[in-house]
């Protein structure tokens, strides 16, 4: 079954002012929707980042894939690698670790691989999770993903989520998400306020939600010494502490002196990072992400490797739409070693999506695996057109949290470490 055409559509959707170690989310988040069309009339969907340097690589690779067989995974990967060449494309926020040529290829390849798996599932009349070994769970648990945030973007109206700049605001935000979606675990994006303030917030969340596992992610802006101090203060409170310090060496120092597992989506971001992380016992949990791990099949392979070395798994999230959520759900459903609730930004999109409603929903904090063939979702073409028009008009071409933050707080610095 040969690839006849590939459509690449950049989109933009409204994003709240979510604070993080790199700055603050801009008013518009960017994504790219990929449609792979075969000579037999089947179409598969993929979703990836929307930053312009990455979008240009995706467009170039799309032109090189026409005529390839959707079943020839290795040939598609080789064609993408040849298209990317020696280029290294980095994001501007630095929240997903170091950029490499290998990671650049994997990021570009991922949406095409997901689309090909969508097609193969549709051709076989089977869901994508069956192509990954079959589901081991009927629904995938996700966590409530909390952020410090302003009430609204500067100069704009307040959004429907409200401000969250102190423990009380975060508890209110958590209650909104738990009540609305049924989440049974909670993650706080830290690295925004001094560590003592974020410890206070975690303790307030523990008091308000005594039965919910909690995790804290300061995105590597603490020194090893600060990380150890905070880890000890939160003994018995956290499920895991995610990326407190920068790099495998610093994470290993921290891991040896704190009582909870350390997790990462920043210091282990390609297969070559795993041997030193294992050797130094730097991490106990890896947050996989098919968007930069080279798609669903490669992520599944890497999950098996992690299981071999006793590393537990969760899943990383960025601002995303429903095609990504469907792919994430199929991968997690078919990966036995994902034992921690996965991250998702879906609630922050507040109903904005490019997929037709009905296939994806939250039930008691989990997303049931779509039952249709392939990914089990279809595009809402009217919504896709609206979001593409928003992309053309919004004026943002790359995510840049730091520059946007400095437009409001000129003294802001995204340096690491900060505390």
Catalytic site positions: 189, 316
CA-wise closest residue to 247 among 39, 374, 98: 98
Structure tokens at 46: 């993929």
Q: From the centroid of its chain, how far is CA 306?
A: 19
Structural contact between residues 377 and 360, judged by C-beta atoms closer than 8 angstroms: yes
In angstroms, the CA 241 to CA 222 distance is 12
Angle (CA) 286 290 295, round 5°: 135
CA-wise closest residue to 110 among 389, 415, 327, 362: 327
Which helix (H) or strand (E) segment is 403 a member of?
A: helix 401-408
* Helical spans, DSSP H, in 155-294: 167-181, 195-208, 224-233, 248-255, 274-279
In angstroms, the CA 122 to CA 114 distance is 12
Beta bridge partners of residue 146, listed in sequence order: 188
In angstroms, the CA 239 to CA 260 distance is 7
Structural contact between residues 144 and 185, judged by C-beta atoms closer than 8 angstroms: yes
CA-wise closest residue to 20 among 150, 223, 192: 192
* Helical spans, DSSP H, in 85-147: 101-124, 128-131
Angle (CA) 149 30 265, round 5°: 65
- Cα dihedral 352, 355, 361, 366 sign: negative
Tokens 């078919």, located at residue: 334
How far apart are the two ends of the chain, measured CA to CA in Å? 54
């Amino acid at each position: 079954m040969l690839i006849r055409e590939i459509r690449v559509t950049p989109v933009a959707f409204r994003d709240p002012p979510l604070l993080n170690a790199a700055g603050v989310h801009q008013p518009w988040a960017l994504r790219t929707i990929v449609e792979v069309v075969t000579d037999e009339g089947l179409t598969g969907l993929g979703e990836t980042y929307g930053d312009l340097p990455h979008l240009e690589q995706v467009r170039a690779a799309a032109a090189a894939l026409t005529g390839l067989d959707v079943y020839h995974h290795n040939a598609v990967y080789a064609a993408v690698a040849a298209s990317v060449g020696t280029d290294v494309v980095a994001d501007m926020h630095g929240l997903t670790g170091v950029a490499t040529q290998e990671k650049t290829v994997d990021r570009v390849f991922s949406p095409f691989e997901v689309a090909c798996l969508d097609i193969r599932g549709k051709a076989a009349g089977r869901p994508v999770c069956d192509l990954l070994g079959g589901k081991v769970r009927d629904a995938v648990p996700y966590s409530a993903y909390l952020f410090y945030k302003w009430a609204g973007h500067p100069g704009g109206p307040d959004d429907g989520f409200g401000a969250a700049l102190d423990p009380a605001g975060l508890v209110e935000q958590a209650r909104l998400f738990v009540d609305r979606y049924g989440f049974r675990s909670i993650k706080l994006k830290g690295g925004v306020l001094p560590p003592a303030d974020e410890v206070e917030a975690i303790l307030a969340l523990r008091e308000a939600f005594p039965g919910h596992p909690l995790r804290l992610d300061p995105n590597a802006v603490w020194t090893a010494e600060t990380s150890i101090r905070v880890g000890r203060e939160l003994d018995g409170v956290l499920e895991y502490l995610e990326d407190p310090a920068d790099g495998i060496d610093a994470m290993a120092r921290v891991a040896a002196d704190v009582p909870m597992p350390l997790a990462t989506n920043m210091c282990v971001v390609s297969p070559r990072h795993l041997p030193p992380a294992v050797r130094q016992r730097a991490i106990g949990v890896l947050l996989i992400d098919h968007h930069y791990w080279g798609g669903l099949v490669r992520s599944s392979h890497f999950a098996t490797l992690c299981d071999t070395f006793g590393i537990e798994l969760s899943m990383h999230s960025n601002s995303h739409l429903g095609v990504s959520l469907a792919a994430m759900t199929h991968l997690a459903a078919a990966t036995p070693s994902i034992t921690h609730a996965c991250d998702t930004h879906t609630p922050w999109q507040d109903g904005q999506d490019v997929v037709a409603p009905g296939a994806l929903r939250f039930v008691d904090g989990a997303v049931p695996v779509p039952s249709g063939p392939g990914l089990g979702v279809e595009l809402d073409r009217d919504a896709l057109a609206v979001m593409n028009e928003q992309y053309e008009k919004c004026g943002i071409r790359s995510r840049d949290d730091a520059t946007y933050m400095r437009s409001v707080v000129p003294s802001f610095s995204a340096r690491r470490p900060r505390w």
